[in-house]
Amino acid sequence: MAPKRVDRAARREEILGAAVRVFARKGFAASRIEDVAAAAGIGKGSVYLYFASREALLTAAFEELASTSADILREARADSRPALDRLAALVHAVLRSMAQRPELSRILLDLWSASRGGEGLPLDMGAVYADYRAAVAELLREAATEGAVRPEVGTRHATVVVAAVEGCLLQWLVDPRLPLIELADPIVSICLDGVRLGATR
Amino acid sequence: MAPKRVDRAARREEILGAAVRVFARKGFAASRIEDVAAAAGIGKGSVYLYFASREALLTAAFEELASTSADILREARADSRPALDRLAALVHAVLRSMAQRPELSRILLDLWSASRGGEGLPLDMGAVYADYRAAVAELLREAATEGAVRPEVGTRHATVVVAAVEGCLLQWLVDPRLPLIELADPIVSICLDGVRLGATR
Amino acid sequence: MAPKRVDRAARREEILGAAVRVFARKGFAASRIEDVAAAAGIGKGSVYLYFASREALLTAAFEELASTSADILREARADSRPALDRLAALVHAVLRSMAQRPELSRILLDLWSASRGGEGLPLDMGAVYADYRAAVAELLREAATEGAVRPEVGTRHATVVVAAVEGCLLQWLVDPRLPLIELADPIVSICLDGVRLGATR
Amino acid sequence: MAPKRVDRAARREEILGAAVRVFARKGFAASRIEDVAAAAGIGKGSVYLYFASREALLTAAFEELASTSADILREARADSRPALDRLAALVHAVLRSMAQRPELSRILLDLWSASRGGEGLPLDMGAVYADYRAAVAELLREAATEGAVRPEVGTRHATVVVAAVEGCLLQWLVDPRLPLIELADPIVSICLDGVRLGATR
DNA sequence: AATGAATGAGGCTTCATTCAT
DNA sequence: CATGAATGAAGCCTCATTCAT
């Protein structure tokens, strides 16, 4: 009756953590269930007590990332500063969050690949980015209301802002020497003010 | 003897084209050599007369993409217009090139995944992006010389410009409903002028 | 201490009953210890407190069937009517017994399979049928003594009588729509009198 | 184009033959694909070039047996002798056929088990016995027309005749020392004339 | 060159059994 | 006694690669 020694959810998290480490290092395709079990310090079969299949581990990692994203977006919405400040904060929050959990972030490489339309896993990074775009578009709309951005700014601009963030992430993932955190300011700066001389002010 | 060379190369291209179609649809991980052979209309064993291994097919697709990138960059360098015009042209060229070959583009999802550090395939998307960044940085430098961009603009800004392009590509890949081509203008517009009101001029 | 014996035996019977239900439905090969435990309303590990192994459950089911057979044969021997009446009673008793416990009967399908020569389980349906044949042969011998059957009737005829019974059982098992009980009379009728016109009297 | 060295059907038969030998010896449940491959003198994976799964091998064995049955029934129907002679011939043919291919016959033990209703393999021994019953019933009907059997003889008697045959087979399978072939005459004799004194003539 | 039959290493998953609580 | 989490041996099946024709 009383949860054994380790409660189910905690053990599940342990295994997922191990899976994330393994996937981050070798990639999902090259990661064996046995690797994950070994990384978690348990037997191969035990993984199946907590996850239905190897793919379920990737799905769970996706859900963790998606949930992190949702948290960040929720906070951005709860924020009450001027819209552009909140946009800047959002950009920083995303990059900081990724930089803080580099192993989870590397899973993105596999999640993108697995998000290839239709038949694959129940895993849709497209939806995550749609959420980001919606949030950024809303912020830009508010900023327009506040008279802070040009009025023709719309959904496509939101897409580009999200792109700047995710594109930096991408470059960092394929070349971890890039200073991810330090890209936050240039992203904000460019997205707000561009690079053209005299553009600011 | 000589004519064989041509045939051989042509056949190799056919097979690679088939592989790209298959990889684009199912992803590299789920693509079997037999699928590729069937798509190319040849026997399974024949693939090995032209490619050393299954992974060599992915590597070849990478090389095709990398070579396309190199071509685009070469053209950007050969261009003699003002730097910012060339930058805009580069952005358009990249997106147009991707939109024109959507199947090859989808391979990116697998190439990113395979570019994960060290031990994997001899395939480095990081280097491709480094080239892009260098090219963009050079254009920005020139633009600064021409007095067209703010003088503090540097490598990190180049990274963000590349990010905006690749980030749009990414969003399009995980959700092909996005109008990739139509994102070129917003990318250029934002990267040059930002979104802030009064930012332009 | 003593009372525990009773409890223990009762619990063992409960588990065996659950096992029989499960085996009857899914077959022994497809039945998992966990299925049996669930059907018995106990934990998986507890099964092992009463049975040494999964196979021991099948062996126990066999023993129950064999013991039922032995009871029926014992009663047939204790009977004091004319031999052919006792033979008819025996046939009815066997079919009735099976029809009354259809789940236990279905285990026969697995017991036959497991009775395949030597190396398998310690479980020998051949011996059960040998007992049946011996009993029927004895009845036929008595009937001959009583002048009720043709004198050349012997062991092989006993085999055929047993076959008629078991063959009906078999057909019923692979097609439960057959009216098992109603086959008892035709079995007796045929085995005693055949089907030929004018055969009787 | 030209079939390789060994044509597909022949190779398939070789493998099926090996599977039958293995299944006959160890039972289907205990037979590993690797055992079958070894018995066929080929590699494990090659089995899958000819059979979709381990179960497909059992299904194929079933089909072979069912087809043998169908052949025997076809011949019985083509026969033009008096119905009871044809019935006797049918009984002999079935037992002879089984005795001639004892390994294929032993598969029956697994086929019965697998015929357990509903969810299992696409394999229905019940249908095979229904065919037998129909054929025997038809023969009995004809015999009645010919005035050779008692007029009340019907479907249930057919079931008992089939039972006598299959029941002998069963006893032989669980105890191969039984002289299967020599049971044909007693089966015919009993089913036609019973055992009761004065029953014949 | 081209083929596709053959191979067998490898990986996922299942599940009987054990054992700490 | 009872439990069910943990284990790892075992087996099915896939598929990249080879090679005889």
DSSP per residue, C102-168: HHHHHHHHHHHHHTSTTTS-S--HHHHHHHHHHHHHHHHHHHHHTT-B-TT--HHHHHHHHHHHHHH
Torsion of CA D157, D161, D163, D167, to 10 degrees: 150
Chain B contact present for A27, CB below 8 A: yes
Count of CB atoms situated within 10 Å of the CB of D10: 10
Nucleotide nearest to C40 (CA to C1'): F2
CB pair distance less than 8 Å for B150 and A199: yes
Query: Looking at residue B30, what is its pLDDT?
Result: 96
CA nearest D106: which of D22, D16, D12, D15? D22
| Interface probe with C: pick from D84, D140, D159, most Cβ of C within 10 Å | D159
Instruction: Tell me the pLDDT tens digit for each residue of D122-179.
Output: 899 999 999 999 999 999 999 999 989 988 888 999 999 999 999 999 999 999 999 9
Instruction: Tell me the pLDDT tens digit for each residue of B43-97.
Output: 999 999 999 999 999 999 999 999 999 999 999 999 999 999 999 999 999 999 9
CB pair distance less than 8 Å for A164 and B166: no
Its sign, for the CA torsion A25, A29, A30, A31, is positive
Q: What percent of chain C has pLDDT over 70?
A: 93
User: How far is D20 from B89, CA to CA, in rounded Å?
Assistant: 71
Instruction: Tell me the pLDDT tens digit for each residue of C114-159.
Output: 998 756 788 999 999 999 999 999 999 999 999 889 888 889 999 9
Nucleotide nearest to A49 (CA to C1'): F5
Question: C65 φ, ψ to 5°?
Answer: -65, -45
CB pair distance less than 8 Å for D193 and C194: yes
CB pair distance less than 8 Å for C163 and D167: yes
Count of CB atoms situated within 10 Å of the CB of D178: 21
Do B and A touch, counting CB pairs below 8 Å (3 needed)? yes
Q: Which residue has the tokens 């517009």?
A: B189
Residue D46 in tokens: 């090659």
- Distance CA D27 to C1' F1 in A: 37
Chain D contact present for C173, CB below 8 A: yes
Protein residue at shortest CA distance from C1' of E18 = C45
DSSP D149: B
CATH of the domain at C169: 1.10.357.10
Chain A contact present for B66, CB below 8 A: no
Q: Which residue has the tokens 């005035």?
A: D147
In a domain, A127, yes or no: yes
Instruction: Tell me the pLDDT tens digit for each residue of C51-80.
Output: 999 999 999 999 999 999 999 999 999 999
Region of poorest pLDDT, from A82-86, A118-122, D84-88, D114-118: A118-122
Query: Looking at residue B130, what is its pLDDT?
Result: 97
Chain D contact present for C193, CB below 8 A: yes
In a domain, A35, yes or no: no
Q: Which neighbouring-strand residues pair with C149?
A: D196
Provide long-range contacts, Cβ within 8 A and 24+ apart, for C175-179. Answer: C175/D126, C175/D129, C175/D130, C176/C102, C176/D117, C178/D159
CA nearest A138: which of D18, B133, A146, D200? A146
Query: Looking at residue C193, what is its pLDDT?
Result: 86
- Distance CA D178 to C1' E15 in A: 38
Chain A contact present for B19, CB below 8 A: no
User: How far is D128 from D20, CA to CA, in rounded Å?
Assistant: 19
In a domain, D9, yes or no: no
DSSP A53: S
Nucleotide nearest to C46 (CA to C1'): F2
Chain D contact present for C155, CB below 8 A: no
Query: Looking at residue B120, what is its pLDDT?
Result: 72
pLDDT tier for residue D200 given thresholds of 50, 70 and 90: very low
Domain that holds residue B120: 53-194
pLDDT tier for residue B100 given thresholds of 50, 70 and 90: very high
In a domain, A161, yes or no: yes
Average pLDDT of span A8-18: 97
Q: What percent of chain B has pLDDT over 70?
A: 93
B 46-65 residues inside an 8 A Cβ radius of A: none
Chain C contact present for D118, CB below 8 A: no
- Distance CA B30 to C1' E11 in A: 15
Whether D190 contacts C190, CB under 8 Å: yes
In a domain, A99, yes or no: yes
Nucleotide nearest to D8 (CA to C1'): E5
User: How far is D143 from B23, CA to CA, in rounded Å?
Assistant: 69
- State yes or no: pLDDT of D52 exceeds 80: yes
In a domain, A16, yes or no: no
Query: Which chain A residue has the Cα nearest residue B168?
Result: A163
Query: Looking at residue B3, what is its pLDDT?
Result: 57
Chain A contact present for B20, CB below 8 A: no
pLDDT tier for residue C20 given thresholds of 50, 70 and 90: very high
- State yes or no: pLDDT of A5 exceeds 70: no
Region of poorest pLDDT, from B118-132, C16-30, C174-188: B118-132
Query: Looking at residue D164, what is its pLDDT?
Result: 97
Query: Looking at residue D10, what is its pLDDT?
Result: 96
- Distance CA D64 to C1' E16 in A: 34
Three-state secondary-structure class, residue A30: coil
User: How far is C125 from C108, CA to CA, in rounded Å?
Assistant: 9
Q: Which residues of chain C are within 8 Å of residue D167 when distances are taken between CB atoms?
A: 160, 162-168, 170
pLDDT tier for residue D4 given thresholds of 50, 70 and 90: low
**Nearest by CB: B190 against A84, A115, A157:** A157
User: How far is C10 from C21, CA to CA, in rounded Å?
Assistant: 17
Q: How many domains does chain B have?
A: 1
In a domain, A30, yes or no: no
Residue A112 in tokens: 């993108």
User: How far is A113 from A121, CA to CA, in rounded Å?
Assistant: 10
| Interface probe with C: pick from D35, D121, D132, D196, most Cβ of C within 10 Å | D196
- Distance CA C46 to C1' F1 in A: 9
In a domain, B20, yes or no: no
Instruction: Tell me the pLDDT tens digit for each residue of D107-131.
Output: 999 999 999 876 778 899 999 999 9
Q: Which residues of chain A are within 8 Å of residue B199 when distances are taken between CB atoms?
A: 150, 192-194, 199-200
Query: Which chain B residue has the Cα nearest residue A146?
Result: B197
Q: Which nucleotides of E are covered by protein (CB under 7 A)?
A: 1-21
